[in-house]
């Protein structure tokens, strides 16, 4: 056994590494035929390497060739498996304590293009109008085709107050969009909004899953309960995720003791794990609607999937992103490392989240203007109304978000049904 680092991949946001024991895969786990096939392919590699070293126009450096081969090998697996040279590996290990100079976007590779999963609230990316699904075609004039996530992170991050130019391709638009942004220290506030709507319906918007999320969320829930909240809209839209243990702790608030929240499955025995609720959640019986969209990823999908599979609440909106796999870091002896996908996350009913996403129980696309030029402004206006700091914004302003309006109608219907059930039970006893 040896110690490696593993975490729930979360794009551009500073990754928090969790110590986890992982077994080394040995030749004993392979069949004789597998080994024979591998040796044949290694002979091919050695032959090609010898030709390059002897016949290339200039004498190549051995490390450059090996690093290039390792990079190509990992890139053939999936967008998140990568070879990290010593500099990249050292950057990954830096403890940023929740702050970093950047733009505030979560990214992935989709159809070989660098793609935004979600902009983080109140960051340069969000303020500039970047949206989930935007393809980053160029960074400072350089094409991004073939770029890895690690390479993209290095280009996007930088010293605060420095400029960066992005060229974007937006879905449904044919012309490229040029955007200039200024990097900033990214400070993420998990509980973005918590307030009471009409008829004792509470509303909480969560923007990420970080170190302080659970404490902040519990505080928000207690505050709303003190104001007689009897149902809740839990907004995970454009929440790109974060820490696995935080996702489990958040799900616990809504579930009963010992209920399965999420499981991991990989090729090795110790990669197969189940995470269950350790307590009865403080609001495990409260009528609940969870909002998701294509910007909801990783930890958001774990929570939404657990609530959906246990029929704990109604998941409403559009299908989530589908990004829930575990990457493990294997340090190499020269200071470089392999970042390898070792397992994937599954909902309590065994549904794979990665590449599939969480489909809503009630599909409600957000209503934006038909004119593409005005969509961005209208979307920004909708979320600005949700995020304003006034303690009691009028319900009619929130109803301009059709997904929240539909969630409110659902909760009102659920409460009417529950009231009628209680009355019927009382009459039957009498």
Q: Is 298 noted as a catalytic residue in this protein?
A: yes
Report d(CA 409, CA 314) in Å as an integer.
12
Residue from 284, 323, 325, 401 carrying the catalytic annotation: 323
Residue from 134, 216, 235, 309 carrying the catalytic annotation: 309
Residue from 118, 231, 277, 298 carrying the catalytic annotation: 298
CB atoms within 10 A of CB 227: 10
Report d(CA 119, CA 126) in Å as an integer.
5
Instruction: Look up tokens 């010293």; give the residue.
Output: 159
Please state whether 98 falls in left (phi above 0), alpha (psi between -120 and 50) or beta.
left
- What tokens appear for 187 in the block? 């400070």
Strand partners, 195: 203
Task: Note the maximum CA span of the chain.
Answer: 96
DSSP H or E run through 13 = none
Q: Is 343 noted as a catalytic residue in this protein?
A: no
- Entry field: residues in the chain: 430
Q: Is 374 noted as a catalytic residue in this protein?
A: no
Report d(CA 249, CA 303) in Å as an integer.
9
Report d(CA 58, CA 357) in Å as an integer.
48
Residues involved in catalysis? 298, 309, 323
């Amino acid at each position: 056994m040896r110690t490696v680092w593993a975490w729930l991949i979360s794009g551009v946001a500073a990754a928090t590494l969790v110590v986890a024991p992982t077994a080394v895969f040995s030749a004993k786990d392979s069949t004789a035929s597998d080994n024979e096939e591998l040796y044949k392919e290694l002979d091919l590699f050695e032959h090609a390497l010898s030709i390059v070293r002897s016949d290339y126009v200039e004498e190549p450096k051995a490390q450059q060739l090996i690093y290039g081969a390792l990079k190509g090998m990992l890139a053939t697996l999936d967008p998140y498996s990568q070879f990290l040279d010593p500099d990249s590996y050292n950057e990954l290990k830096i403890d940023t304590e929740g702050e970093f100079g950047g733009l505030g976007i979560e990214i992935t590779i989709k159809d070989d293009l660098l793609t935004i999963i979600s902009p983080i609230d109140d960051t340069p990316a969000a303020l500039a109008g970047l949206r989930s699904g935007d393809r980053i075609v160029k960074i400072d004039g350089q094409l991004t085709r073939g770029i890895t996530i690690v390479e993209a992170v290095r280009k996007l991050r930088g010293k605060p107050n420095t400029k960066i130019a992005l060229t974007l391709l937006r879905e449904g638009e044919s012309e490229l969009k040029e955007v200039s942004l200024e990097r900033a220290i990214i400070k993420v506030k998990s509980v973005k909004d918590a307030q009471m709507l009409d008829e004792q319906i509470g509303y909480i918007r969560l923007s990420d899953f970080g170190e302080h999320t659970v404490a902040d969320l519990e505080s928000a829930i207690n505050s709303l309960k003190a104001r007689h909240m009897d149902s809740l809209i839990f907004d995970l839209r454009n929440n790109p995720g974060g820490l696995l243990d935080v996702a489990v702790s958040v799900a616990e608030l809504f579930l009963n003791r010992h209920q399965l929240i999420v499981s991991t499955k990989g090729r090795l025995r110790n990669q197969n794990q189940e995470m269950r609720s350790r307590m009865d959640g403080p609001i495990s019986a409260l009528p609940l609607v969870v909002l998701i969209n294509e910007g909801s990823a990783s930890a958001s999908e774990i929570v939404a999937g657990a609530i959906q599979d246990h029929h704990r609440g109604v998941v409403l909106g559009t299908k989530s992103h589908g990004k829930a796999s575990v990457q493990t870091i294997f340090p190499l002896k020269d200071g470089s490392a392999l970042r390898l996908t070792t397992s994937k996350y599954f909902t309590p009913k065994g549904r794979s989240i990665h590449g599939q996403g969480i489909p809503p129980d009630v599909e409600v696309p957000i209503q934006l203007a038909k004119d593409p030029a005005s969509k961005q402004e209208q979307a920004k206006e909708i979320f600005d109304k949700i995020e304003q700091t006034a303690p009691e914004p009028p319900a009619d302003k929130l109803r301009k978000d059709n997904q929240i309006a539909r969630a409110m109608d659902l909760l009102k219907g659920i409460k009417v049904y529950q009231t009628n059930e209680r009355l019927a039970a009382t009459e039957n006893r009498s």
